[in-house]
Amino acid sequence: QTVELAALVHVPNSVVGILLLAIGTNIPEIAIIFRSRNSEEEKLAVGNILGSAAINTGTLGLLGIIASPSLPNYVSLIPAITFLVVTLIVFAALAKTGSEITRREGYLLFTIYTVFILLEFSSLLSSSTTIS
């Protein structure tokens, strides 16, 4: 069914696989966050999910290097690197304002992430229509 869904929205199977892997490996951490709401364990739960995301990213990066040892087109990485740098700068600035990120600051970070995902998908869709 996921292959049919990927074909329906014109997304490569590998992207759907990566999304399913990310969701599947983070479900326990997400459950911990919901269970530990309004308690001191919330910080531990958030750290847990960030650590899991870092491990997933590293694992997928390593697998990508092993699967395709040829050099990537670095020009295509410029938007992702730009968003990474912007997000790190915004996060560092927000972290200096207080010990916790407020809901408004969280919305800002989430908006940056949403714009990044939308741009990546639009780039992916435009490149797949050019290839076909």
**What percentage of the chain exceeds 90 in pLDDT?**
2
Other CB atoms closer than 10 Å to residue 101's CB: what's the count?
15
Length of the chain: 132
- Looking at every residue in the chain, the average pLDDT score rounds to 78
Residue 61 and residue 92 in contact, taking contact as beta carbons nearer than 8 Å = no
User: Would you state the pLDDT for residue 119?
Assistant: 86
Is the pLDDT at 28 greater than 60? The verdict is yes
Query: Full-prediction pTM beyond 0.75?
Result: no
pLDDT at 46 over 80: no
Token couple for 16:
């759907």
